[in-house]
């Protein structure tokens, strides 16, 4: 299989590429990434010379670059490329509109014109809005995005569904709960708390800290994505979750306990605008139809995640300081292709 991964230098994308290369010996992967602040080539330094892997720097919002890219011919595309941080979308929504909607449109147009066999779009549970206590949203739940980020992803989902319905694009949407694990940029809750705690810095907690999230270890999500590429039904949506929502406050306390740090490092701060109270998804469809299920418990996954950040202090330091851009200049600039006009 020849696979295009867009946004493959990001957190989930880089883990997915590594997972496929390790488990699918027949796969050949092209990684197309703009390398924004959260796209870190250092996350894939260990496979840079892998003959089944090729990196091309480019922007999914550039129609000419995307057309040239699709001319290479692919069996499937998995689109991770997106702006993803809710706080940043509240400060300025325009990059989210440009990439998460306009960029997806560029990819869909290229998929339509080239009759791409399979297009898998990576969405989010946030498109459903906040889940009432005791409720887990299904794939049939109406979308109710509450933040600019969620609105941009919901809009993209509608375009993906429309292209499948109108033009017959063989597209599938995956909506997953919060991921965590190695290589996650330290602006998200778990890596930020780990990084701050290790440095004895304050751990900012929005509001009362009782917002519930359903954390899924990234390896489990990578397995779900791979199964969707291989066996998913075109036109369908699949929810992916661990099925165990937990308050953010519990997550932070667990991290502090495992690191041997005092709870006095926690600092409650003003809640962000439009903060969804609870996310919860019913993933019975993907379990029933594709045979997926989560294998990594939160207790095991959070220990593995903390151990990884402890063992990769230089990666974390480079990510927090922007030093990974210098890494790119030193190791990649003279030997990667760039698609842009």
Q: Which residues are catalytic?
A: 125-126, 149
Distance of alpha carbon 299 from alpha carbon 254, whole angstroms: 9
H helix runs in the chain, sequence order:
11-23, 63-70, 86-91, 94-96, 104-114, 148-167, 189-198, 218-231, 248-259, 284-290, 298-311, 313-321, 324-331
Q: What is the dihedral of CA 176, 299, 86, 317, to 10 degrees?
A: -120
Q: Which two tokens stand for residue 274?
A: 């439009």
Distance of alpha carbon 55 from alpha carbon 9, whole angstroms: 9
List phi, psi (to 5°) of 337: -85, 150
Q: Which two tokens stand for residue 245?
A: 């929502």
DSSP state of 270: P
Distance of alpha carbon 241 from alpha carbon 299, whole angstroms: 16
Q: Say if residues 292 and 223 touch (Cβ distance below 8 Å).
A: yes
Distance of alpha carbon 175 from alpha carbon 55, whole angstroms: 26
Work out the number of other CB atoms within 10 angstroms of the CB of residue 292. 22
Q: 116: buried, middle or exposed (CB in 10 Å: 19+, 13-18, 0-12)? A: buried
3-state DSSP assignment of residue 77:
strand
Q: How far is CA 187 from the centre of its chain?
A: 13
Distance of alpha carbon 120 from alpha carbon 105, whole angstroms: 14
Q: How far is CA 238 from the centre of its chain?
A: 15
Q: Say if residues 60 and 121 touch (Cβ distance below 8 Å).
A: no
Radius of gyration for the chain, computed over Cα atoms and rounded to the nearest angstrom: 19
Overall size of the chain counted in residues: 341
């Amino acid at each position: 299989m020849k696979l295009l991964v867009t946004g493959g230098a990001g957190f989930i994308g880089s883990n997915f590429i590594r997972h496929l290369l390790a488990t699918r010996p027949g796969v050949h992967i092209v990684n197309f990434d703009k390398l924004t602040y959260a796209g870190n080539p250092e996350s894939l330094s260990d496979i840079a010379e892998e003959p089944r892997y090729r990196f091309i720097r480019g922007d999914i919002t550039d129609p000419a670059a995307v057309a040239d890219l699709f001319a290479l011919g692919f069996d499937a595309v998995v689109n991770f490329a997106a702006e993803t941080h809710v706080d940043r979308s509240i400060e300025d929504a325009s990059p989210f509109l440009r990439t998460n909607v306009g960029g997806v449109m560029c990819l869909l147009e290229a998929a339509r014109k080239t009759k791409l066999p399979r297009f898998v779009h990576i969405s989010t549970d946030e498109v459903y809005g906040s889940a009432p206590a005791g409720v887990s949203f299904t794939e049939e739940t109406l979308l109710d995005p509450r933040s600019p980020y969620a609105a941009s992803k919901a809009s993209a989902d509608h375009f993906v569904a429309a292209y499948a319905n109108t033009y017959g694009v063989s597209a599938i949407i995956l909506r997953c709960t919060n991921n965590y694990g190695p290589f996650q940029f330290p602006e998200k809750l778990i890596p930020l708390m780990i990084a701050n705690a290790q440095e004895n810095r304050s751990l900012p907690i929005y509001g009362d800290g009782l917002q519930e999230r359903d954390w899924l270890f990234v390896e489990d999500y990578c397995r779900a994505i791979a199964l969707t590429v291989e066996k998913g039904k075109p036109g369908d949506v699949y929810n992916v979750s661990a099925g165990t929502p937990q308050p953010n406050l519990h997550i932070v306390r667990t991290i502090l306990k495992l690191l041997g740090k005092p709870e006095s490092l926690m600092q409650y701060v003003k809640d962000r605008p439009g903060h969804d109270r609870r996310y919860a998804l019913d993933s019975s469809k993907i379990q029933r139809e594709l045979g997926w299920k989560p294998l990594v418990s939160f207790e095991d996954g959070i220990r593995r995640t903390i151990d990884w950040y402890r063992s990769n202090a230089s990666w974390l330091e480079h990510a927090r300081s922007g030093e990974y851009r210098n890494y790119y200049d030193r190791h990649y600039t003279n030997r990667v292709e760039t698609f842009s006009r």
